[in-house]
C-alpha cells in the first residue's frame, strides 16, 4: 500500500491521515526510545508535516537529547499511545510511530540506530543498515 | 534490594520489592501501538510487589485476549508503565521493561500474539512463540 496512510491510537481519540510517502523508516534503540516504546525500539517513519492532517488532541513532552537538539514525544493524552516524535533539527517533518498507522501498509524499517544502547536480548534484522549511534546527516544539496 | 524504575520524564517512579516471575514480548495489535511499532516487552511481577509514586493516567480496555486490562502511562511524557488484568483477577502485573532502571533485569522467555506481528518482525526462534495467548497453539521451530 502507498499513500495516503491513516492511523489511530488505541482509544480512537486521535486520528491522522498522511498524503505523502515517508522520507525514511528507522528503528531506534536509544534508552529514551526504550522507555517510550515499552522496552523495545521505536519504529519511526519521517513525513513532511504539510502532508499530515491531525484530528484530536496530541500531548507533547520534550527533552534535550545527547546531540543538543530538543526531542519531543507526541502522544494521546487519553490512552498514552505514542504518535509522533519531532526534533528541533528537522522543523518541517515529524516521525510517525509505525504502530500508530492502520492496517496493511508496507512500511518497514530499513535502518537500525543507537544499537550500542540496545538490550542484550534485542532481535535486530541483520539485513538492516546499522549504526551504533546516530547516523550521519544526509549530504547537503549543492 | 528492590528493583527501581521511572518514566521518560522522571515524574513517575517505580519500586518493586519482589523478583520477576517471567518476561515476554507481545505482538498484539494494541501492544504495537503502545510500543511504537515493536512488541511490548513486559516483566511480570506479583501486583502487590509493585509500587508507583507520581501521577499516572489509566485506561481500561478489552485486550485481544478478551480480558479486561488496565494500562497505565505517564500523563506528562506518555511513557507506558504497566498493564494489569482486572478480569480475571490474580494475574501477574506486566511492567514495561523500558521503564526499569535495568531494562535487562530479565530477558523475554516467550513471544505471544505472533499472528498479528508485522512481516518485518524479527523474533528469537529459540523461544516458544505462541500464535495468540499462552493457551494458543505454538508455532513450529523454523527449519
User: Cβ of B33 and A10 within 8 Å?
Assistant: yes
When mean pLDDT is compared across A42-46, A133-137, B72-76, B128-132, the lowest value belongs to: A133-137
Q: Which residue of A has its CA nearest to B124?
A: A123
B80–A9 CB contact, under 8 Å? no
Query: Using an 8 Å Cβ cutoff, are A119 and B103 in contact?
Result: yes
Res. A140 pLDDT band, cuts 50 70 90: low
What are the distances in angstroms from CA B57 to CA A17, A25, A118, B60?
26, 30, 28, 10
pLDDT, residue B143, reads 37
Asked if residue A124 has pLDDT above 70, the reply is yes
Write down the pLDDT at residue A119. 94
Check pLDDT > 80 for residue B16.
yes
Just give the CATH number of A5-130: 2.170.150.70
CB nearest to B37's CB, from A35, A78, A99: A99
Would an 8 Å CB–CB cutoff place B97 in contact with chain A? yes
Is B82 inside a domain boundary?
yes
| Rounded Cα gap, residues A21 and A2, in angstroms | 7
Predicted local confidence at residue A136, as pLDDT = 79
| Stated length of chain A | 142
Is residue B122 assigned to a domain?
no
Q: ipTM of this predicted complex?
A: 0.90
Q: State whether A125 and B41 contact (CB < 8 Å).
A: no
- Is B91 inside any structural domain? yes
CB pair distance less than 8 Å for A121 and B108? yes
Mean of all residue pLDDT scores within chain A: 93
Is residue B34 in some structural domain? yes
Q: B14 preceded by cis ω (within 30°)?
A: no
- Cell numbers for B117, please give them: 506481528
pLDDT over 90 (residue A97): yes
**Domain assignment of residue B124, yes or no:** no
Summarize the confidence of residues B97-104 as an average pLDDT. Answer: 94
Nearest residue, CB atoms, B36 vs list A98, A120, A123: A98
A98/B57 touch (CB, cutoff 8 Å), yes or no: no
For B24-64, the pLDDT digits (tens) are 999 999 999 999 999 999 999 999 999 999 999 999 999 98
Asked if A38 lies within 8 A of B35 by C-beta distance, the reply is yes
Distance CA B13, CA B79 (A): 12
Tell me if B73 is assigned to some domain.
Answer: yes
Q: What is the number of structural domains in chain B?
A: 1
Q: Which of B80, B119, B124 sits opposite A123 (nearest CB)?
A: B124
Contact status of B3 with chain A (Cβ, < 8 Å): no
Q: Residues A13-25: what's their mean pLDDT?
A: 97
Q: What is the pLDDT of residue B122?
A: 95
Domain presence at residue B85: yes
Proportion of chain A above pLDDT 70, given as a percent: 96
**B122 in A contact zone (CB under 8 Å):** yes
Instruction: Identify the closest residue of chain B to A126 by CA–CA distance.
Output: B122
Query: Tell me, what CATH number does B8's domain have?
Result: 2.170.150.70
CA distance B123 to chain A (A): 6
A91-119: average pLDDT: 94
Rg of the Cα trace of chain B? 15
Q: What pLDDT is stored for residue B37 in this prediction? A: 95
Residue B142 has pLDDT above 60, yes or no: no
Give chain B's mean pLDDT: 94
- Looking at the domain assignment, is residue B137 inside a domain? no
- Structural domain of B90: 3-116
Residue B139 pLDDT: 86
**10 Å Cβ neighbour count for B68?**
13
Q: What is the pLDDT of residue A142?
A: 62
pLDDT of residue B65: 87
Contact A122, A41 (CB under 8 A): yes
Amino acid at each position: 500500500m502507498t499513500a495516503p496512510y491513516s492511523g489511530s491510537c488505541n482509544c480512537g481519540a486521535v486520528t491522522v491521515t498522511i498524503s505523502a510517502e515517508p522520507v525514511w523508516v528507522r528503528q531506534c534503540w536509544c534508552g529514551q526510545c526504550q522507555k517510550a516504546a515499552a522496552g523495545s525500539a521505536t519504529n519511526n517513519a519521517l513525513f513532511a508535516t504539510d502532508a499530515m492532517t491531525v484530528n484530536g488532541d496530541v500531548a507533547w513532552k520534550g527533552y534535550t537529547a545527547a546531540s543538543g537538539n530538543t526531542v519531543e514525544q507526541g502522544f494521546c493524552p487519553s490512552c498514552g499511545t505514542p504518535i509522533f516524535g519531532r526534533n528541533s533539527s528537522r522543523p518541517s517533518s515529524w516521525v510517525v510511530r509505525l504502530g500508530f498507522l492502520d492496517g496493511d501498509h508496507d512500511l518497514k524499517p530499513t535502518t537500525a540506530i543507537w544499537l550500542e544502547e540496545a538490550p542484550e536480548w534485542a532481535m535486530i534484522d541483520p539485513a538492516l543498515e546499522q549504526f551504533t549511534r546516530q547516523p550521519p546527516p544526509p549530504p547537503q544539496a549543492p | 534490594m528492590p528493583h527501581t524504575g521511572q518514566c521518560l520524564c522522571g515524574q513517575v517512579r517505580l519500586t518493586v520489592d519482589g523478583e520477576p516471575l517471567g518476561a515476554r514480548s507481545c505482538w498484539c495489535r494494541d501492544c504495537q501501538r503502545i510500543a511504537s511499532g515493536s512488541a511490548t516487552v513486559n516483566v511480570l511481577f506479583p501486583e502487590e510487589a509493585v509500587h508507583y509514586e507520581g501521577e499516572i493516567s489509566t485506561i481500561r480496555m478489552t485486550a485481544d485476549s478478551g480480558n479486561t486490562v488496565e494500562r497505565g502511562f505517564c500523563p506528562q511524557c506518555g511513557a507506558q508503565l504497566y498493564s494489569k488484568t482486572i478480569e480475571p483477577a490474580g494475574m501477574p502485573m506486566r511492567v514495561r521493561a523500558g521503564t526499569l532502571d535495568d531494562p535487562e533485569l530479565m530477558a523475554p522467555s516467550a513471544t505471544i500474539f505472533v499472528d498479528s506481528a508485522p512481516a518485518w518482525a524479527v523474533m528469537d526462534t529459540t523461544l516458544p512463540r505462541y500464535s495468540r495467548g499462552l493457551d494458543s497453539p505454538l508455532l513450529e521451530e523454523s527449519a
